[in-house]
Structure 1
Amino acid sequence: MKLVNTHKQLVLGMVFILSSLQMINAQTWTLQQCIDSAEVHNKRLRINSLEMESSLQQVRVVEGNRIPKLNLNADYKYFTDLPYQLMPMSVFGGPEGQFKEAQFGVPHHLNADLTLAIPIYNPELYGNIKTSRAASELTRIQNLKSKEEVFFEVSTVYYNAQIIAQSLDFIDSNILNARQLLKNVELLQTQELVTGTDVNRARLKLLQLEKERESTTVKYDRVINVLNFLMGRALNEPIKVNKTIDFEKIENYTRETSLSVQLAEARNTLLKTQINTLQKTRYLPSLNAFASYGTTGYGYDEEPNRFLNFYPKGLAGIQLSMPLFNGMVTKRKVISKQLEIDASSLQLELMQDQTDVNIENALSEKDNANRTMEIVEEQLKLAELIYDQTILQHSEGIVSLTDVIMAETDVNKAQMEYLATIIEYLKADLKLKKESGNLLKN
């Protein structure tokens, strides 16, 4: 039995050493450094950045339709059989109402011209430009929203890592105390002042703490893996968080429009722009100018010394297009889009109400955590004082080992409650920053 216990202690010792070496080699990262890394390397943010750039290019594409277009056109045709036309025989003095087939043209036909198209007024074009700009603004806010969510996740995971790292420090301190207690109890056993049961209790407490440290280390490694993932780093790269939790207690923040509300507003604006475009193209005409200049060549194989004869051609004009009736398609689209706008307006009101509720809840959670933190901190100090006094009394034979273990359990409980209260405060503060539109500013 002793051999088995010795083996377990050796294994736990090796795990502790390897974990300690890894932590020593790991670089300490602050929360801001983690956020900066995520902003550059997080794959979700990189995808959103590319989508935003694509949206900007799409705006330029639509705006480019306002610029006059110049095209070069050319084609060559060879007629194996010239097309027929019917000629009235009366033209050549024949009877009325009778026709004679005739072939016109030459086998070789070459055409080349430059065509210029100038949009003078096109309501659909200008409506598409406004729509593309509104869509680009929506994409920009969506990118900011994704950035806010990633920063929120990085901060939350970082706080969790800090709490677990401090838990490990508490556990390490408790392990040192438990080992010292075990030595003292074993010494008292040699003097026949305590029984073997007391020694086993002290040894059991030490094993429980070592097991707790092992499971907490695994939990810490998992949190670090998530943090590395959010930062866009390889999972096997060592990293260490700053154990010192520095935070400024700010009761409230300046109320800004949250990104959730901005996103709902941008969607509503996009829908209104789309319906305005539909309503304009439903009644307004479009006016375009055009011009063309080129040459046409005709030729046939029997002509000696010359294959093609070229003749210039040119034209210019203005085209007016007035929509009259398209089968009620545009009207149905306007009705459908209006229903979407009504739903979007309700969604905007919902987001505003939900933001107000979230801010009030975050303020309440933060205030409660702040008050609880002061109480739990006093509890921790008192539990540690009681533990020190109990250890002293046990060495003098006044109290039993059970009292020592109970005092130590109270310390462990107070430590965990203290850390839990801190993380509740930090998360509530983080949520308040997000809902009040201050997360990306801070």
Structure 2
Amino acid sequence: MRHYADLPYQLLPASFFGGPEGGTARVQFGTPNNITLNVQAQLPLVDVGSWEGIQWREAERMAGMQRERSREEVVLELSNAYYNAQVLQARRTFLDSNLLSTEAMLRNVELLHAQLLARGTDVDRLRLQRDQLRTQRERVVAQHEQVLDLLRLMMGLPPDALLATEPASAPVQQTPIRRRPLAGLDRRAGRAAEAGRDPLVEALAAALPPLLRAVWRHRLWTHWQREPLRPLSGELLGAHLQVPLFNGTAISQKVRQKELELERTGVLRDAVADREGLEQRRATRDEALAPRTLTDAETQLALAERIRRSTLLQHTEGLATLTDLVLADQAVREGQQLYIDALVQLRKAQLELARLNGKLLNERP
């Protein structure tokens, strides 16, 4: 509603109202009171800007893949912790065996020294070796407890919960090899790269979004001065098309930017595929070689332990020297270290191949 306190005046020829020629008359046009009521409805028919919802759905899919990747990272970290606990348990077992053997050798040498058949330095050397083994065992036990605490934390168990690992010599399940163009985490990286397709169309749609609308308008107005109110009405039905014709240099800049992004995405996808193929071939070779190495290490370790036991008996009977006994004990330790290294390589190869094949979430350590 509008109210005009004073309407404007205009000068018109007086002859227009029947007056003398050459004169003027002041006339007010308009009404002092106006009431207008508009009712308008618009229905969008084509809106390119609404296509951005597709990009939001794509972003949601990418978020889902990111969650899956986070889950695989958690499984990978948990598997590494479990295998570390398994390796530390094997080292602890070996140290216990070495400590028992060293104490047995020390008792024999002390008896020989009491009979003046061995030197005091031999006794001291074995005592030093025993103390070193005890220190190593304490350190390995502490590391093993730390890894178990980490496992309890990751599994949501209380700190005092009992937790044990399977023996390191348990049968190993071979990971089936399924070659795929892109697998595991890198497969999702390839999907993320493919998500950037048709960037030029997206750039043009974002820079020049045409808009087509159907418009219906109903208008009701009235005015009065001295006579009563006389309402008037009118309707309008049509279409409204809005197409920007010029938007500066923003379009060309966006197109160039999308071209560079597309080129970079293609290079990235090729690099990911090449790297994944190389890593898969290497993991396959390592996974095939590690079980044989572990079996050979077990055989060599069993032979070295048998030689050490025989040498210890011969030393008790005076048929072997202390040097022979030390060499036999050193061979056992080398076999134990070879076994530990083979076990670590096997677990690493299994985890890497499972990661590349995208099977971390389906396998147990």
Whether 1:398 and 2:313 are equivalent positions in the alignment is no
**CA pair 265-201 structure 1, distance change in 2 beyond 3 A:** closer
Work out the CA distance in 1 between the residues paired with 2:151 and 2:26: 91
**Contact 1:182/1:203 (8 A) holds in 2:** yes
Q: How does 1:218-297 map to 2 (within 5 A)?
A: 218-228=142-152, 231=154, 233=156, 236=159, 240-245=163-168, 246-250=170-174, 252-256=176-180, 257-272=182-197, 274-280=199-205, 285-289=210-214
One-letter amino acid of the structure 1 residue matched with residue 92 of structure 2: L
Work out the CA distance in 2 between the residues paired with 1:235 and 1:96: 104
Q: Which residue of 2 aligns with 1:26?
A: none
Deviates more, 1:318-327 or 1:376-385: 318-327
One-letter amino acid of the structure 2 residue matched with residue 271 of structure 1: G
Whether 1:338 and 2:263 are equivalent positions in the alignment is no
Work out the CA distance in 2 between the residues paired with 1:312 and 1:120: 27
Task: Choose which of 128, 132, 141 in structure 1 pairs with 2:56.
Answer: 132
Q: Which residue of 1 aligns with 2:227?
A: none
Work out the CA distance in 1 between the residues paired with 2:198 and 2:48: 12
Q: Which residue of 2 aligns with 1:47?
A: none
Q: Which residue of 1 aligns with 2:93?
A: 169
3-state SS of the aligned residue for 1:397? coil
Q: Which residue of 1 aligns with 2:48?
A: 123
What are the ranges of 5 or more consecutive residues in structure 1 without an aligned counterpart?
1-76, 299-309
Q: Which residue of 2 aligns with 1:323?
A: 244
Work out the CA distance in 2 between the residues paired with 1:184 and 1:85: 129
Whether 1:207 and 2:131 are equivalent positions in the alignment is yes
Per the TM alignment, residue 154 of structure 1 is displaced from its structure 2 partner at its CA by: 1.8
One-letter amino acid of the structure 2 residue matched with residue 244 of structure 1: P
Q: Which residue of 2 aligns with 1:9?
A: none
Work out the CA distance in 1 between the residues paired with 2:24 and 2:151: 95
3-state SS of the aligned residue for 1:272? coil
Work out the CA distance in 1 between the residues paired with 2:167 and 2:183: 30
Q: Normalized against structure 2, the TM-score is what?
A: 0.79
3-state SS of the aligned residue for 2:44? strand
Alpha-carbon RMSD across the aligned residues, in angstroms, is 3.9
Whether 1:434 and 2:355 are equivalent positions in the alignment is yes
**Contact 1:185/1:199 (8 A) holds in 2:** yes
Per the TM alignment, residue 118 of structure 1 is displaced from its structure 2 partner at its CA by: 3.2
Deviates more, 1:129-138 or 1:206-215: 129-138
Work out the CA distance in 1 between the residues paired with 2:147 and 2:84: 7
Whether 1:374 and 2:298 are equivalent positions in the alignment is no
**CA pair 102-294 structure 1, distance change in 2 beyond 3 A:** closer
Per the TM alignment, residue 144 of structure 1 is displaced from its structure 2 partner at its CA by: 1.8
Whether 1:419 and 2:340 are equivalent positions in the alignment is yes
Task: Choose which of 74, 84, 96 in structure 2 pairs with 1:150.
Answer: 74
Deviations for 1:200-242, whole angstroms, at most 9, x for unmatched residues? 222212101001112222332443454455x264895656341
Work out the CA distance in 2 between the residues paired with 1:344 and 1:163: 41
Work out the CA distance in 1 between the residues paired with 2:255 and 2:357: 35
One-letter amino acid of the structure 1 residue matched with residue 277 of structure 2: D
Work out the CA distance in 2 between the residues paired with 1:114 and 1:382: 98
Structure whose CA Rg is larger: 2
Work out the CA distance in 1 between the residues paired with 2:332 and 2:24: 121
**Contact 1:114/1:293 (8 A) holds in 2:** yes
Work out the CA distance in 2 between the residues paired with 1:288 and 1:268: 36
Work out the CA distance in 2 between the residues paired with 1:148 and 1:327: 47
3-state SS of the aligned residue for 1:240? coil
Work out the CA distance in 2 between the residues paired with 1:194 and 1:98: 142
**CA pair 191-333 structure 1, distance change in 2 beyond 3 A:** same
Aligned length: 348
Identity %: 26
**CA pair 88-171 structure 1, distance change in 2 beyond 3 A:** farther
Work out the CA distance in 1 between the residues paired with 2:199 and 2:172: 46
What are the ranges of 5 or more consecutive residues in structure 2 without an aligned counterpart?
18-22, 224-230
One-letter amino acid of the structure 2 residue matched with residue 180 of structure 1: A
**CA pair 182-336 structure 1, distance change in 2 beyond 3 A:** same
**CA pair 333-190 structure 1, distance change in 2 beyond 3 A:** same
Deviations for 1:320-359, whole angstroms, at most 9, x for unmatched residues? 2122211131232122112101110110010000001101
Per the TM alignment, residue 390 of structure 1 is displaced from its structure 2 partner at its CA by: 0.8
Work out the CA distance in 2 between the residues paired with 1:96 and 1:135: 74
**Contact 2:185/2:358 (8 A) holds in 1:** no
Q: How does 1:26-45 map to 2 (within 5 A)?
A: none
Per the TM alignment, residue 281 of structure 1 is displaced from its structure 2 partner at its CA by: 5.2
Q: Which residue of 2 aligns with 1:365?
A: 286
Work out the CA distance in 2 between the residues paired with 1:115 and 1:104: 26
Deviations for 1:110-145, whole angstroms, at most 9, x for unmatched residues? 99x98755332112212x122112222222222222
